[in-house]
Amino acid sequence: MNVKLPDGSTRVLADHATAMDLALSISEGLARASVAARVNGSMRDLSAPLSEGAAVELVKFDSDGGKQVFWHTASHIMAQAVKSLWPNVKIAIGPSIDAGFYYDFDTQTPISNDDFPRIEAKMKEIIAQNLPLSRRELSKEEARAYFSNLGETYKDELIRDLPDGETISVYSQGEFTDLCRGPHLPHTGLVKSVKLLSIAGAYWRGSEKNAMLQRIYGIAFPAQKQLDEYLLFLEEAKKRDHRNVGRTLDLFSQSEQVGPGLVLWHPNGGRLRTLIEDYWRQEHYKNGYEIVYSPHIGRATLWETSGHLDFYKENMYAAMEIDEQEYYVKPMNCPFHIVMYKSALRSYRDLPLRWAELGTVYRYEKSGVLHGLLRVRGFTQDDAHIICRPDQMPEEIRKVLRFCLHILKAFGFETFAIYLATKPKEKSVGDQAMWDDATAALAQAVKDEGLVCAIDEGGGAFYGPKIDIKIKDALNREWQCSTIQFDFNLPERFDMTYAGSNNDKQRPYMIHRALLGSMERFMGVLIEHYAGDLPLWLAPQQAMVIPVSQKFVAYAESVHQVLVAADLRASVDYRDEKIGYKIREAENNKIPYMLIVGEKECVANTVSLRKRKKGDAGACALSSVIEDMQKEIREKAIP
C-alpha cells in the first residue's frame, strides 16, 4: 500500500503495515525517536495498522502532541506504581497536562511527599521492564463488568456515562489495565527519567459535592539531561513567582476576609498599575480609539438579550434584587458598548467606531484554579470593540494587529506565537461568506505584518473566528494576552444597524479586542518576566537617595526635591542604619538607581551613583543622572 508523508512524498509499505513499520523503513533512529503517529490528522499508536493512501506524520517527543502522548504514558506508569504499593487504592483519571501529568487516587491511607521516593523507585522498576502497552476494545457492558470486578468504581462511573453502543478502549502494561482512548508509547522503557513534583487535593469531577481525591503531579522525559534542565527551570520559575515577588516588593495582596480571587493593590502595585494604564490610554487615543466607561452591574434583561444567562450563567455571580428587578455584576463589557452604540442612529459615515474600556468584570472561578494574579474572580479587561462596515474590516484588522504588537513590544516582549482559530464544525452563527471574509482578513493581516500563525482548525468560537497572540517570557513560557475576535452573534441579538449609502439598514461587523488580556494577569506575567526587575519607566520607585549618616539628611532631601521636580519617582532612606544595610535593602527592593550622599558629595554638590546589579558608577552631577534617567524612561529601555 501507499502512504503519504508530510513532505508530499509517498512510501510503499506492506499491506497492514503499522506506523512503526513506516518509521523503520526510513531509519532506525527515527523509529527510536518516534512516540506516536498522526494519521489523517488523528493521533494514533505506532502499532496501529495503516490503510491505503493514509497521510502519516511520525510524531517525536519534541512536539506538543508527542509530549502529551509521552506524559500520558508516564501517568499510567505512576498509577501502576501506586497500585502496586497500595493495592486498595482506587484510580480516577490521569491525563497529560501542559507540563507533565497527574493522576487522581482515592486512598484510605493518605499519600504524602515523603512517599515520592518509593513511588519513583517503583516507576523505575516498571520502566526497566520495557512493558509493552497494548490496546484492546470492549463493549460498554464488558468494560463495566471488567472494572466493577476490580472495584474501580470511578472507572465504572465514567463508562456508565458514555453513550450506549460506543466502543471503549483499554490499555494494558503488565498486570495493570486502564480505561483510556490513547494513544500511548510502544513500551514503558522509552521513559528514561521521572520526577514526582507535588501532591494536592482534587474533587472528583471538579465538584465540591463529590469525594476529595489525592492528585499527584509529575514530569517525565526521554533523557536524564532533559529532566535536570527542567528542574533548573522550575527553580528559576520559583524565584520569579509573582506571588513571592509581589510580597517582597509590596505590590498586592489577597485576603480570605475580602474573598478568594479578589486583589488588593498596595501603593507600589497601584503605582505600577497606574503607569501601565496611563500608557495604555495615551496609546489608544493616538491610535484613533475613544475611551468609554460602563457600570459594574446591569439588569437581567440585558444579559438575557446577550445570551449570557443562557450560556454563561454558571460563571456569573448570583443575581441581586433592586427595586424588584434582578441585576447581575458584569462578566463582560460587550453588551454595554452595544447599548451605547444603539443610543443613537448611526450612518455608514460614522464608522468605524473604536471604543475601549478598562472595565472591571467579575466571573466565578472554582477555588481550586485560582492562582495569584493569573487566575482571579475580579479583574480589569483592557477591552475594546471595533464596529465597522464590511469594506472597512480588512484594514481595521491590520491596524489592530499592528497595535497589539506595538503595545506588547513596549513592555519588552519580542517573541510571539500567533494562532488563527477557524470556524468550528459544530453549530455556528453567521453565514459562510462572513466567516470566509473574516478568516481571510485575519490571515492576511498576519501575513502583511511579516508574521506566521498556526491554524487552529475549527477552534473558533461559535460566533466568529479569532487570532490569539501569546507572548513568550524570559523562561520561554507562552502566555495568552491579545485576542482579536469577530462576533457575528451579538450584532444579531441586539439588532445593531447603520444606515447605508442608500439609507438602507445594514448590519455592522463587530470585533472584540484585548491587548493585554486583563490587567491582573498581564501584571503577573510582567513581574515574572522581569523577576521584579522592571524597566525604569515602570519601576514603582525609580531612585532611592541614601544619606551615609543622619548628618547628611538635609542634603539628601534637597537631592530628592530635584528628582521629584524632574518627575522622577524617588524617596529618601531616613533610617539610622549602616550604609551597607541600606544599599542591600534598596537592591532587594529592586530599586534601579541609588544615589548615595555623604560629606564629599555634599561639598561637591554631586551624588555617588550606584545602579542595581551594575554596582558603583562613581561621583556624578545630579543633572547628569537625571538626564540619563529621563532618556532611559523616554526610550522605554529594557534592562
Residues recognised as catalytic: 334, 363, 381, 383, 385, 466, 512
Angle in degrees, 0-180, between the axes of helices 224-240 and 519-530, rounded to the nearest 10: 120
DSSP bridge partners of 514: 383, 483
The grid cell for 88 is 486498595
Angle at 464 between CA 459 and CA 467, to 5 degrees: 60
Backbone angles phi, psi at 58, to 5 degrees: -80, 130
Burial state string for 480-491 with b = 16 or more CB within 10 A and e = fewer than 16: ebbbbbbbbbbb
Alpha carbon distance 56, 50 (integer Å): 9
| CA 450 to mean position of chain CA atoms | 24
Alpha carbon distance 609, 606 (integer Å): 9
What is the SS3 assignment for 577-636? CCHHHHHHHHHHCCCCEEEEECHHHHHHCCEEEEECCCEEEEEECHHHHHHHHHHHHHCC
Peptide bond into 639 cis (omega under 30): no
Alpha carbon distance 128, 77 (integer Å): 11
Alpha carbon distance 29, 431 (integer Å): 49
Q: Check: CB of residue 33 under 8 Å from CB of residue 61.
A: yes
Largest CA distance in the chain: 92
Closest CA to 222 of 180, 188, 173, 176: 188
Lookup result for grid cell 525609580: 542
Could you give the strand order of the β-sheet that contains 297-299, starting from the edge strand earlier in sequence?
297-299, 325-329, 320-322
The set of residues, in sequence order, having a beta carbon less than 8 Å from that of 432 and lying 6+ positions away, is none
Name the burial class of residue 58, with classes exposed (0-12), middle (13-18) and buried (19+) by CB atoms within 10 angstroms of its CB.
Answer: buried
Backbone angles phi, psi at 110, to 5 degrees: -55, 140
* Collapsed DSSP state (helix, strand, coil) of residue 247: helix
